Amino acid sequence: MITVTPEEISQFRSQLADKPQALVALDTIEECEGYLDDAVPLLAMRETAQEEDKSLNDWLERCRQFVCQDEVREALESGLLAPAIEAIAIGASIPPGIATAISICVFKLSAKRFCNVPESGA
């Protein structure tokens, strides 16, 4: 289970201060005590007004091709969530709150590892 600490949520809040939907997603993650596995279905229900029967892993797989595009992956590797959130939300046609949680999850997992990018010696 992937968790986001209160300190990390605070850092993400600062970074995403001008993205109201991302802030709502952070509130939801905080409400779920940082557990992304619990927050994602709740975000999906709140943003789509439907009960989604998708787990965090289902959403990750749905978004993998967008997350692993070079510019999105590189943004996440650098800890820049805003450009990744927008690209994932638009590319995968998902609500921005879910894209926020996906971005945070991939950031915490390591974008290189998630996308199976080999470590370069350079």
Asked if the model's pLDDT at residue 79 lies above 70, the reply is yes
Q: Grade residue 89 by pLDDT with cuts at 50, 70 and 90.
A: very high
* 122 pLDDT higher than 50: no
Confidence of residue 121 (pLDDT cuts 50, 70, 90): very low
Phi, psi (deg, nearest 5) at residue 108:
-70, -35
pLDDT value of position 38 = 95
pLDDT > 90: what percent of the chain?
87
If one counts every other C-beta atom within 10 angstroms of the C-beta of residue 65, the result is 12
What letter does residue 17 receive in the DSSP assignment? T
Cα→Cα distances 5→10, 14, 15, 108, Å? 9, 14, 15, 11
Cβ pair 59, 97 in contact under 8 A: no
Q: Residue 119: its pLDDT value, please?
A: 61
Q: What residue segments make up the domains of the chain, in order of their start? A: 6-114
pTM: 0.92
pLDDT per position as a tens digit, 26-59:
999 999 999 999 999 999 999 988 887 888 999 9
